Amino acid sequence: MIIFPAIDLKDGKCVRLYKGDFNKITIFNPSPYDQALKFQKKGFDHLHLVDLDGALQGKPKNKDIIIKILNKTNLNVQLGGGIRNLKQISFWIDHGVSTVVVGTMAIKNLKSLEKACNLYPGQIAVALDVRDGFLSTNGWIKQTKIKFLDFSKKLEGLGVSKIIYTDINRDGTKTGVNISQIKKIINKVKIPLIASGGFSSIEDVNQISALKKLHGIILGRAIYDGSIKIRDLIKISD
């Protein structure tokens, strides 16, 4: 299982949201690059990077910071946030992103998603952000009536490398992981799953790491505030 420490970018800073609410932002580091370097020095190989400004505006807004992280660290970067077309996907892969994460684009245009997967096999992941069982788009601002599991099944056969499942109601809350839902997804969806939202302790991580089919997890607030110690995570991470 891969552990992805998360950096969310807002106004050039490293932040965390509470339940996806842009009015409830905590700044954890004014320098996202320094934070990425810290993660690398602590022993992480992977990074989940999200351009929150890009997600809201529909196009990447923190390019310079992202490119600096790509050029000056050795991290395998999984990047999402405002990536809505093939041109943007190509740009980021050309600049060294290991996995491009699309969400709104996937929900609105499955044909474009399939084309991207064919052009960049193994490098396209889909972020499915879920609130009360239904998908949200546009930086979690717009709520759809699309059921998460129904849509996940539609992605099978398109070449999607991973699904990133985020429980919005738990994200940033440290209220615990929705283990039963994650088990349900793993059993019903063939695409490898990365889980995010609600991690509060190393016990949460140990519990979910026992799910052998789980590809990885994304951790944010709990590692920033020290609830989960990085030294304990390195022992678990692949």
Query: Any idea which residues carry the catalytic annotation?
Result: 8, 129
* Cα-based distances in Å from 17 to 5, 83, 96, 148, 153: 15, 20, 27, 22, 29
Digit-coded pLDDT (tens) for 134-174: 898 876 678 889 998 999 999 999 999 999 998 887 776 67
Tokens coding 187? 């059993």
Q: What angle do CA 145, 146, 151 make, to 5 degrees?
A: 180
Q: Which CATH number fits domain 2-236: 3.40.50.920, 3.20.20.70, 2.40.50.100, 2.40.50.140?
A: 3.20.20.70
How many Å apart are CA 108 and CA 130, to the nearest integer? Answer: 16
Question: What confidence category does residue 214 fall into, taking pLDDT thresholds of 50, 70 and 90?
Answer: very high
Going by the DSSP 8-state scheme, the letter that residue 159 receives in this structure is: T
Q: Counting every residue, how long is the chain?
A: 238
Digit-coded pLDDT (tens) for 60-111: 889 999 999 999 999 999 999 999 999 999 999 999 999 999 998 999 999 9
Sequence ranges of the domains in the chain:
2-236
Digit-coded pLDDT (tens) for 178-197: 888 888 889 999 999 999 88
Q: Which pLDDT score, from 0 to 100, does residue 177 have?
A: 79
Q: Which pLDDT score, from 0 to 100, does residue 66 have?
A: 97
Tokens coding 124? 């396209």
Higher pLDDT, 235 or 173: 235
